[in-house]
Every structure is written in C-alpha cells, then in structure tokens.
Amino acid sequence: MRVPKWTCMLLVVAVALVGCATSNPAPPDVVQVDADGTPQPTLPPVPAGKTIIADGQLVSPYPSLALGFGGGVSGQVLTITVKAGDVVQAGDLLAVLDDTELRRALDDARLALERARADRDRSVRQWERDLADAEQALAVAERALTAARLQYSDTGVEEARTALDRARQAEADAEREYNEALQAWPPRPSDMYYDVWQRAIRERELAEMRLADAQDAHSVGYLELQAREEDVAQAERALTALQEGIAPTYERAVEDAERRLGQAQEALVHARLTAPWAAIVLSVDVAPAATVGATTPVVTLLNLEDGLCFVTQNLSEQHIADIRPGQRAIVTLRAFAETPLEGTVEAVVPQVGEGTATDACFAVRVRLASSDLSLLPGLTGRVEIITGD
C-alpha cells in the first residue's frame, strides 16, 4: 500500500513538536566576572534582573593600625602578651612596660601634692587668724577715733580768748583809774589804784598763757585726730587686703601639683598597652626587653569591631549597572565551601586611577550576616549578587 506524501510530512512535524515539548528549559542568565583580570571594555552589558558572580575576599572596614604605649612614656618592654594571629577583644592586655620609674614619679607627684595642700592649709589657718586680728584692730582704731573726735573741740580756745579779752579790758580800766587818781585834786591815795592795776596786768598775762596753752592743746588734739583717722584707714586697708583670701600662689601650687599627679597617673596607665577594640594581631613589632619610645610601634592590629565585609574589585561599569546597596548577596568562601553566607550589598565604590580610558573600575562591598564561622580577613571566595527577581 502506498502512503501519500502529505501524510509523511504530517508525521515528521508531529515528531518535531513532541521533541520540543519534552526538551529541558534554558537555565537563567548568569554573568560571571573574573575579578582577577582586568574587565574588557568590549563585554556586553549585564541584562537587568540577573545574578552577578564575582571573586573577592574578606576585609576589615578599617586599615591596620600600629599601636604604641603612647602617653609620652618610654622605657623597656617587660612583657608581650600576644602573638601574630591572635584575636583580641577591647581592653585585652597586649604588652606591659617596665613601670618602676613611672611609679616612682607617681609617688613623688603624690608627695608634692600633699606638701602643696599642707602649705595651703597652713596659709589658710594663718589667714583666718590674721583676719580676726585685723577686724579687732579696726574696731580698736574706730573706738580711738571716736574718743579723739569727742576730745577735739574749739571751746577751750574760745573760752581762753574770751578770758584774755576780759583781762585786757580789766587791765585798761585799772590803768585808767590809776592815772585818774594821780591827777585828781584833792589828791587821792594812788597806791591802792596802782596795786589794782598791777593785779590786772598779772591776770592779763595769765590769760594770755591760758590761751596759748589752749591753742597748743587744740593743735595736739587735731594731730591726735589725724593720727586716729590714719589708724582707721590703715586698719581698713589691711582688712580689705586680707578679705581677698590667701595669696594665689598657694592655690596655683596645688593646681600644678594636681596636674602633675594626673600626668603621672596617666603615664602609669599607658604602661599597659590594651586593645582599643576587637581586632586581630597582624604583627608584633618589638621584642621583650626592647627599649621603646612614646611613638615606637609595639603591635599592629586590624579592627574587627564592626565585623568583616566581602569585597570584590575590578568590576567594570557594565557589570555594576544593576547593583544597588541593599541587594541580597550570597558569599561562598573557599575555606567554608559547604556553608554559604548571607549578605547585603553595602556600597559600590569607584576605584580612582584604575580601569581603562573607556571603562571605569568599581569595588562592591558586601556586609555579611552574623555567623558562627571563624572568619578571618584575607579569606577568598565568590559572591553571587541577586540584582532582581
């Protein structure tokens, strides 16, 4: 029996359709970047919504730091308590400096402070006594001034001057009466008038002396009053000066001694070198018994306080076009190949000075989720960055 030609053609088409239906689906597009080589500018751009795979390594977010004892201290290294590769926590002891001289300086500073405080306290006690004496001296001077003012008066001089005027008038009257008696007719006994006149002369002379004495006493009283006023002024000046307190040199001496004590205490603290944060020891830079200065590096640390991040470098702008901070990433380290680590793209950083004239280079930093693995900086691996659904 002869089969028609068109029937054979239908059978061939049916077989082809069945083969297409049973074939495997095409895998998702994956762009792999060889981070060890320089990206070629001729690479096609990465399609959106794909996975980017690149090599990289674990690094610290911070550069390494060489630590010394600091604080201006120097001396002989007594002990090194760590070695390269040790992981330390904040506050862990790294090295110890021979602190014999530092402790001696601290004792001297404490003794100097005690002496300065003792000198100040003695000065304060003496000042309190002097202040009380000055207050008492002022009170005595004021009382003496009051008495001098009460005693100083013009009354005595005025009374003596009035008495002198009367004596002079009495003398003139007695002389006139005596002369009249000499010229009277019939004559009168002149001896009696003469005696009266002479007594008047003596009374006038006594009045003059009394006035001179009163004037002298008045002058003395004035000088006494001035002296008492000066005593009060001096007492007030002395009290005012004392009320300002003890001499400032004592307080300055105490402050200087306190500052030197603080410096000595700080220097003793610096004799123990401790880790400022969680870190790994990259190197020990001096040996025990070595003499170091304030700036001599003793150990070099790499900061692990904020954890490690995975960094892949030399990605071209074609590869990072779809990479954004916050995207999910999976890191597989060669040392822990069976344990993928979850991560998140933290930053895309341009690498200044690298790349070609037509293609810039970038580094992608991936922040890893917490893990129980013993992760160390420098571990290499591969990251898969999920750029979309």
Query: What is the reported pLDDT for 320?
Result: 80
Tell me the per-residue pLDDT of 99-153, one tens digit each, with 9 for 90 and over. 999 999 999 999 999 999 999 999 999 999 999 999 999 999 999 999 988 888 8
List, edge to edge, every strand of the sheet that includes 279-284.
Answer: 65-67, 299-303, 279-284, 87-88
Query: What is the reported pLDDT for 16?
Result: 46
Q: What is the CATH number of the domain that holds 354?
A: 2.40.30.170
Contact 69, 270 (CB under 8 A): yes
| Structure tokens given for 211 | 């006035």
Q: How many CA atoms lie within 13 A of 180 on its CB side?
A: 8
Query: What is the reported pLDDT for 12?
Result: 44
Mean pLDDT (the chain, rounded):
84
- On the question of pLDDT at 273 being above 60, the answer is yes
- On the question of pLDDT at 43 being above 60, the answer is no
Tell me the per-residue pLDDT of 344-366, one tens digit each, with 9 for 90 and over. 999 998 887 655 555 678 899 99
The count of domains in the chain is 3
Percent of the chain scored above 90 by pLDDT? 57
Kindly tell me the sign of the dihedral angle through the C-alpha atoms of 265, 270, 271, 273: positive
Contact 57, 310 (CB under 8 A): yes
Give how far Cα 228 sits from Cα of 190, 221, 222, 238, 252, Å: 57, 10, 10, 15, 38
| Structure tokens given for 165 | 């005027």
The confidence band for 66, taking pLDDT boundaries of 50, 70 and 90, is very high
The H or E element that residue 249 is part of is helix 248-269
| Domain identity same for 197 and 275 | no
| Domain identity same for 121 and 223 | yes
Nearest residue to 299 (alpha-carbon basis) of 70, 37, 5? 70
| Domain identity same for 318 and 368 | yes
- On the question of pLDDT at 245 being above 80, the answer is yes
The answer as to whether 266 is a domain residue is no
The whole-number average pLDDT for the span 153-177 is 91
Tell me the per-residue pLDDT of 187-209, one tens digit each, with 9 for 90 and over. 777 788 899 999 999 999 999 99
Q: Which of 302, 324, 343 delimits the end of a domain?
A: 302
Query: What is the reported pLDDT for 358?
Result: 59
**Could you say which DSSP state residue 327 is in?**
-
The predicted model scores a pTM of: 0.58
Query: What is the reported pLDDT for 33?
Result: 53
Phi-psi region of 76 (alpha: psi -120 to 50; beta: other; left: phi over 0): beta
The whole-number average pLDDT for the span 269-294 is 92
| Domain identity same for 237 and 360 | no
Query: Which residues in the chain belong to E strands, given as ranges?
Result: 30-33, 51-59, 65-67, 75-80, 87-88, 93-97, 272-274, 279-284, 291-292, 299-303, 309-316, 328-333, 341-355, 360-368, 380-386
Kindly tell me the sign of the dihedral angle through the C-alpha atoms of 12, 17, 18, 19: positive
Residue 312 sits at φ, ψ, to 5 deg, of -115, 135
| Domain identity same for 74 and 112 | no
DSSP collapsed to 3 states, 270-295: CCEEECCCCEEEEEECCCCCCEECCC
The answer as to whether 56 is a domain residue is yes
| Domain identity same for 188 and 204 | yes
| Domain identity same for 238 and 149 | yes
Name, in order, each residue with C-beta under 8 angstroms of 354's C-beta and a sequence gap of 6 or more: 314, 360, 361
| Domain identity same for 113 and 239 | yes
| Inter-helix orientation angle 248-269/100-151, to 10° | 170
Q: What is the CATH number of the domain that holds 281?
A: 2.40.50.100
Q: What is the CATH number of the domain that holds 140?
A: 1.20.120
Range from 254-258, 358-362, 377-381 that averages highest in pLDDT:
254-258
The confidence band for 72, taking pLDDT boundaries of 50, 70 and 90, is confident
- On the question of pLDDT at 333 being above 50, the answer is yes
The answer as to whether 244 is a domain residue is yes
The answer as to whether 125 is a domain residue is yes
d(CA 301, CA 303): 6
| Domain identity same for 111 and 244 | yes
d(CA 29, CA 231): 109
Nearest residue to 100 (alpha-carbon basis) of 71, 68, 75? 75
| Domain identity same for 112 and 235 | yes
Give how far Cα 187 sits from Cα of 77, 176, 359, Å: 137, 16, 161
Query: What is the reported pLDDT for 357?
Result: 55
The whole-number average pLDDT for the span 215-227 is 90
The confidence band for 9, taking pLDDT boundaries of 50, 70 and 90, is low
The whole-number average pLDDT for the span 147-176 is 90
The H or E element that residue 146 is part of is helix 100-151
The answer as to whether 151 is a domain residue is yes
Domain that holds residue 374: 28-61+306-386
Residue 333 sits at φ, ψ, to 5 deg, of -90, 145
- On the question of pLDDT at 307 being above 90, the answer is no
Contact 121, 312 (CB under 8 A): no
The answer as to whether 22 is a domain residue is no
| Domain identity same for 85 and 165 | no
The answer as to whether 208 is a domain residue is yes
| Domain identity same for 279 and 225 | no
Name, in order, each residue with C-beta under 8 angstroms of 330's C-beta and a sequence gap of 6 or more: 340, 341, 342, 343, 383, 384, 386
